[in-house]
Structure 1
């Protein structure tokens, strides 16, 4: 019995110290890329035109959502890939600044035009559902990495 206990303690120690949890927030300093305001406005217009064609409301631009969309786009550029990493933290941060019922996001990469990004989202059932969802506000961040690839983050929320 004592032998098993003596063996179990080091094993437990190794297991506890080798497991790491994902941090709630990445403290890595991320360089801020330049926004492409033209593409951002184009995406917003195309999404709103699509929504109106379906009888849905136009989405209002949100500075709050824009701030968090920009941060996430910079994060994806630094990481070198698309992700929804830390989405819950973004949604909570938005909710801390404006009371929201729901938050959603679409991300994209490697589309040279706003229409290509929209069409990519439109062909995906989950992204299309987000674009056509019951939201009141949105913001789009479009930035280019050093290799010339565009990264897109569009955040949506319902007040």
Structure 2
């Protein structure tokens, strides 16, 4: 090994002083230890470094215009009436991002011909990207009256939990399929 190091140093045109074998071993061990320490205790700051590509949850805000706002306003009225009866604050209508995401999801449900919470995590991340602290969602299908839909949610413990949640705003995706059936997505969030 020492011969290899000596040949390497001579190829690099570095004159090697004359050492006896114990001195050379000591120098080699010290050099190796220094290299190991340099590689194991180096540090870096990872601020601003991303390991995953950043995702931009952009959406066409014009989607919000596709909701049936008459029905959505009625749903909001009955939801707020229920929240008031429980001593909770009224929800403010979000006719932009939350409604655009709700319409997008309602379109998905119509296309699938079933209600779901598919891709809910994406809607959560998108609203949190815009300042939401917490997000909830209720969906429905087939109701023709807002009051009946809200009563169905009130009578379902999981939906009722969302209705009674610590939220401040709400967005709506209320649409009819080609067959005339209503599909509903109501997004709830707190800023």
| Gaps in structure 1 of 5+ consecutive residues | 1-31
Q: 1:131 aligns with which of 126, 148, 163?
A: 163
Q: Relative contact order: is structure 1 or structure 2 higher (C-alpha 8 Å, sep ≥ 6)?
A: 1
Matches within 5 A, 1:85-124: 85-96=118-129, 98-124=130-156
> Within 1, Cα distance between the matches of 2:120 and 2:172?
15
Contact 1:35 1:144 in 2 (8 A): no
Give the TM-score of the pair, scaled to structure 2. Answer: 0.64
Q: 2:86 aligns with which of 54, 61, 69?
A: 54
Question: For residues 55-85 of structure 1, what are the alpha-carbon distances to aligned partners after superposition, in whole Å with 9 as ceiling and x for unaligned?
Answer: 1101111122111001000110011100100
Question: For residues 98-129 of structure 1, what are the alpha-carbon distances to aligned partners after superposition, in whole Å with 9 as ceiling and x for unaligned?
Answer: 22221010000000100111011111001001
Larger radius of gyration: 2
Give the TM-score of the pair, scaled to structure 1. Answer: 0.76
| Gaps in structure 2 of 5+ consecutive residues | 1-62
Matches within 5 A, 1:1-159: 34-62=66-94, 63-96=96-129, 98-159=130-191
Stretches of 4+ aligned residues off by more than 3 angstroms: none
SS at match of 1:107: strand
